[in-house]
Each structure stands twice: as structure tokens, then as C-alpha cells.
Amino acid sequence: MIGGDLNGHVGKTSQGLERINGGWALGDRSQDGERVMDFTVSFDMGVLNTFFKKQPKLSYNDYEDVEEWWERNNNILKRVGREVLGLSTGKGPKDKETWWWGNYGQEEIKIKINAKKRYDETGTEEDKERSRLAKKETKVAVVQSKQQELHNVYEDLDTKEGQKKIFKTAKGRNKATKDITHIKQTKKEDGVDMCSSSIIKGGWKQYFERLLNEGNPRSIIADGNPNLGMVRDIDREEIKVAFSKMKKRIATGPDEIPVEVWKCLGEFGVDMLWDLMKKIL
């Protein structure tokens, strides 16, 4: 038995070679496939992969029209994204206090998250009830955790270290109300240091007044030859670079396809978008 990729298409035609080729291959026989078949005949072997029925694949190249291509493939990508990644509620994160978070209640939060995921996958009434009860128990655990942390803070305020924390917090809030909090000094155009807050503000005022009110010299571009519509084809490497710059966990665009879906597609996704770009151009 020889296992591996022999780098040849034996084709689905098996006339006269039914014992070697089961007839469940795909496409036509290539030149390398002919050599594979000659080898199997010489050593009285068979191509086992041709004896199993293959699942037909839907190629994105089947649609020449760009609108039809995008409509069909976009629906497939969104469906796979919902099945694999799930569907969010659409609500953004709230600005919540987190200073009191501790280990207490973390187990309840994990149970609530898993119960919600389970309900999103199944949609049954039983999982819905479990998700509701887990959410209720998590709220109780969070309230208890916050009360415990507040109790510890109040006890800490009676100590000497707690009083130092109060003064530190007050100084930080007072500093946050200042317009300039980090710039201690800067320089004028002639190199003279500006140290006081009022002088620094005046220097910035003069800079922006000159920046916004003075005109810049502009060169006149001569008339050139008109563009006859010749546009350079997009290179596959450009698509690959754009893929690498995509950030995860961001909102979807008008296509409603998450970036994670394109990341999962890998090289196939690069070829898919490259084909779309060539059809558009």
C-alpha cells in the first residue's frame, strides 16, 4: 500500500480499468494521472480514493455575472459565519466599573455565558429557561461580590494607608481637571523654553493661527493625456496583504461578513476575493 499525494489526476473515466479506477474521481485525466495509472497497472494495484463517492463542491467560479457571484457567495459566507461564530445581540459594551471585580462570582459568569451560547445554538425552551436562571444567579453573585469589595474599601479607609489613597485619588482628580496635564515645557521657534502654562498656551495659539490662516504655494499641473480606462489588474499579493491587515472583533461592513470568516478561509479566501476583484475591474 502506498499512501500520499501522487500529484496526478486519474480522472473519472474507468473504461477497461474498473478494477484499478473505481470511477468516483473528479475531472479529466492529466498527463501525470496517466503515469499513475500505468504504475498501478504494472504492479497490480488500485487507486483506492476512486472507489468512494465524493461530495460535489460548489465553486465560486461557476457564476460569471458579478451580481450573481456576490449574492450567492455572500449568502453562503454569512450562513457559515452564523453557524460557526454565532450571532451577537448587536449591543455594544457598556462603560461599567471593574475595580471591584474579583474571583468571587467568576464561575457563575462562565455558566451564564455557556448557557447563552447553548440557547443561541439550539433555540429550545429548555435551554432558554436555563439561560434565564443562569443570568439571574449571576446578577446575585455580582451584587454580593461588589458589596464585599465595598466593605473591604470602607475598612481600609480607617487605616493610615487608606488615608494616603484618599489624598492620592484627590490629587489625581484635580490634575485631570487641568487643560494641560503632561506638557511641562516646550520651545518657541527661536529655541527659547516656555515653562509656564499661560506662555505655552500662547505659543500654541500663535502656531495654529498661522497654520490655519496662511496659504501654501501650489504648483499648477499641466494638462496631460486623458485616461482611456486602462486600469492595472489587482495582484493576488495585494489581496493577501489586505487580509493580513484585517483586525478581528470589529463590526461588520455593508456585506455583513465578519473578518473572522475571511481569516478562516485562508488561501481559499484570498483566491475568492481576487476572483471577485478581477470580475469587477
Regarding whether 172 and 102 lie in a shared domain, the answer is yes
User: Could you report the per-residue pLDDT of 82-120, keeping only the tens digit for each?
Assistant: 777 677 666 655 556 665 566 666 788 888 888 888 888
pLDDT in tens, 43-90: 778 887 777 776 655 455 556 677 887 888 888 878 877 777 677 666
**pLDDT attached to residue 133:** 92
Q: DSSP alpha helices (H): ranges in 93-192?
A: 106-122, 125-157, 160-176
Residues 119 and 170 in one domain: yes
Q: What is the dihedral of CA 132, 135, 140, 142, to 10 degrees?
A: -170
Query: Within a domain: residue 224?
Result: no
Quote the pLDDT of residue 33. 79
- Residues 106 and 43 both lie in one domain: no
Torsion over CA: 150, 154, 160, 166 (sign): positive
> Is 193 within a domain?
yes
Residues 209 and 187 in one domain: yes
Residue in the structure block whose three cell numbers are 484627590 = 170
pTM for the full predicted model: 0.36
- The Cα–Cα gap between 69 and 255 comes to 13
* 225 within a domain of the structure (yes/no): no
Of residues 29, 24, 23, the one with CA closest to residue 11:
29
Asked if 82 and 107 sit in the same domain, the reply is: no
Q: Within a domain: residue 238?
A: yes
Stretches where the chain sits below pLDDT 70 are: 1, 4-5, 14, 26-27, 54-64, 85, 88-105, 179-184, 220-224, 226-231
String of DSSP letters for the chain:
---S--S----S--TT-TTTB-S---S---HHHHHHHHHHHHTT--BGGGGSPPPPP--GGG--SHHHHHHHHHHHHHHHHHHHH-----PPPP----TT--STTHHHHHHHHHHHHHHHHH--HHHHHHHHHHHHHHHHHHHHHHHHHHHHHHHHHTSHHHHHHHHHHHHHHHHHTSS-SS---EE-TTS-EE-SHHHHHHHHHHHHHHHHHS----PPPPP-PPP-S--PPPPHHHHHHHHHHPPSS----TT---HHHHHHHTHHHHHHHHHHHHHH-
Q: How far apart are CA 7 and CA 11, in angstroms?
A: 12
C-beta neighbour count of 25 within 10 angstroms: 21
Grid coordinates of 225: 493625456
Residue 248: which region, alpha, beta or left (left: phi > 0; alpha: psi -120 to 50)? beta
Residue 13 structural domain: 1-57
Looking at the fold, whether 206 and 170 belong to one and the same domain comes out as no
Number of structural domains the chain divides into: 4
Q: What was the pLDDT predicted at 90? A: 63
> Are 188 and 243 part of one and the same domain?
no
